[in-house]
Amino acid sequence: MLYWLYSHFHINLFYYITLRGGIAFFISFALTLYLMPKFIKWAKTQKLNQPIFDLAPKTHKNKGKTPTMGGIVFVTSTVISTLLTAKLTNIYILIGLLTIVSFSFIGAKDDISKIIGKKNSAGLSPKIKFFLQIFFAFIVAILLFWTTKLSHEFYIPFDKHPLFNLNYFSIFFWILVIVSTSNAVNLTDGLDGLATIPSIFSFLTLGVFVYISGNALLSIHFLLPKISDIGEIAIVAAAFVGALTGFLWFNCHPAEIFMGDSGSLSIGAFMGYMAIISKNEILLILIGFVFVIETLSVILQVGSFKIRKKRVFFMAPLHHHFEIYGWAESKIIVRFWIIAIIADIIALITIKIR
């Protein structure tokens, strides 16, 4: 809407991505603060409580009455804010919104199956959930490949030149990035606010990259690949940051509501999407470092137990290991936040080291 006001009434103030991004932040923040208490009240009356995993640490048993599916609220706020502030004829905006909504849909189906269907913590079967993730990631990848001018070149940090052209293999690579990032955020969402702050930091960092790459002068100055029209995605990132900041008001320890898969899968998918269009698929390992170490802890735990019949950690993902080790929940959360912000600062430093 704001871009429409600029294009039709020549209100030049609304031309700037930075201004529309700031407005998007406050709209989604305000919407989340307004809608979340109403959703929490409704969720409690409907008993939308996520069953707690039987093997979870004992401290989690008292969380069984906390409502879930808060992701529906902040995803809705993000989408509404984007529709009001972004240029809706921009193909990257349209594909980005598709990514957010489709993965939130998968998560919502998973959450509902946990709450209403099976009455346990399992949710959708892993095969169905994985199939749906691959299916929607494939649609996103195909749209990026055929409807945009996004290059298929492969970049690594610290090098201003692409290593090689992936061509058609880029479709499979993009699917891998979106699905793996989506699941990584999902695995991390196990403590109050644990996934929220690292997600905010990641979106802020990726927002900087897409803004620079979408700007002809800045991309040349910082030696980043110039990718036309992706700068608008910084507005969606700002909207997501605003919505997550509002969500954190209710999700900080002790949480009044959990985001559920409807939130975590959507966050991770859009994070992967931003990394793809800004050519930061490899740097995403650093940008989302907390999500990476959480995922690696699960892979190591499962692999070690299958091969050696021994566990590497007391429990995986990693945050559960520290819970059983004796760390207070709030200490684990804040320390993981610190790791996240340090990793993202380092990622931003790489902009000038190429």
Tens-place pLDDT, residues 42-56:
998 888 886 665 555
pLDDT value of residue 305? 81
Give residue 109's domain range.
2-286
- 194 pLDDT exceeds 90? yes
- The two tokens of residue 318 are 């990693």
In terms of C-beta density within 10 A (0-12 exposed, 13-18 middle, 19 or more buried), how is residue 316 classed?
Answer: buried
What is the 3-state secondary structure of 160-186?
A: CCCCEECCCHHHHHHHHHHHHHHHHHH
pLDDT value of residue 112? 87
Q: What is d(CA 278, CA 233) in angstroms, rounded to the nearest whole number?
A: 10
pLDDT-wise least confident of 116-125, 143-152, 155-164, 226-235: 116-125
User: Shortest CA distance to 154 belongs to which of 281, 272, 31?
Assistant: 281
Does the residue 69 lie in any domain?
yes
pLDDT value of residue 97? 98
Neighbouring-strand partners of residue 164: 154
Find the mean pLDDT for residues 23-50: 92
Does the residue 155 lie in any domain?
yes
Q: How confident is the model at residue 307 (pLDDT cuts 50, 70, 90)?
A: confident
pLDDT value of residue 126? 86
The percentage of the chain sitting over the pLDDT mark of 90, rounded to a whole number, equals: 71
pLDDT value of residue 65? 77
Higher pLDDT, 152 or 48: 152
Does the residue 300 lie in any domain?
no
Find the mean pLDDT for residues 300-313: 85
pLDDT value of residue 48? 80
Q: How many residues does the chain have?
A: 354
Q: How confident is the model at residue 291 (pLDDT cuts 50, 70, 90)?
A: very high
In terms of C-beta density within 10 A (0-12 exposed, 13-18 middle, 19 or more buried), how is residue 210 classed?
Answer: buried
Q: How far is CA 24 from the centre of its chain?
A: 17
- 10 pLDDT exceeds 70? no
- 31 pLDDT exceeds 80? yes
pLDDT value of residue 191? 87
pLDDT value of residue 314? 85
pLDDT-wise least confident of 10-14, 202-206, 287-291, 312-316: 10-14
In terms of C-beta density within 10 A (0-12 exposed, 13-18 middle, 19 or more buried), how is residue 218 classed?
Answer: middle
Q: What is d(CA 63, CA 289) in angstroms, rounded to the nearest whole number?
A: 27
How much is the mean pLDDT over the chain? Answer: 90
Q: Are 31 and 113 in contact (CB under 8 A)?
A: no
- 63 pLDDT exceeds 90? no
Does the residue 30 lie in any domain?
yes
Domains in the chain: how many in total? 1
User: Shortest CA distance to 137 belongs to which of 165, 87, 106, 178?
Assistant: 178
- 59 pLDDT exceeds 90? no
Does the residue 324 lie in any domain?
no
- 177 pLDDT exceeds 80? yes
321-344 confidence digits (pLDDT tens): 888 888 888 999 999 999 999 999
pLDDT-wise least confident of 43-52, 80-89, 157-166: 43-52
Amino acid in the structure at residue 285: I
Find the mean pLDDT for residues 127-132: 93
Map residue 10 onto helix, strand or coil.
Answer: coil
Does the residue 305 lie in any domain?
no
213-262 confidence digits (pLDDT tens): 999 999 999 999 999 999 999 999 999 999 999 999 999 888 899 999 99
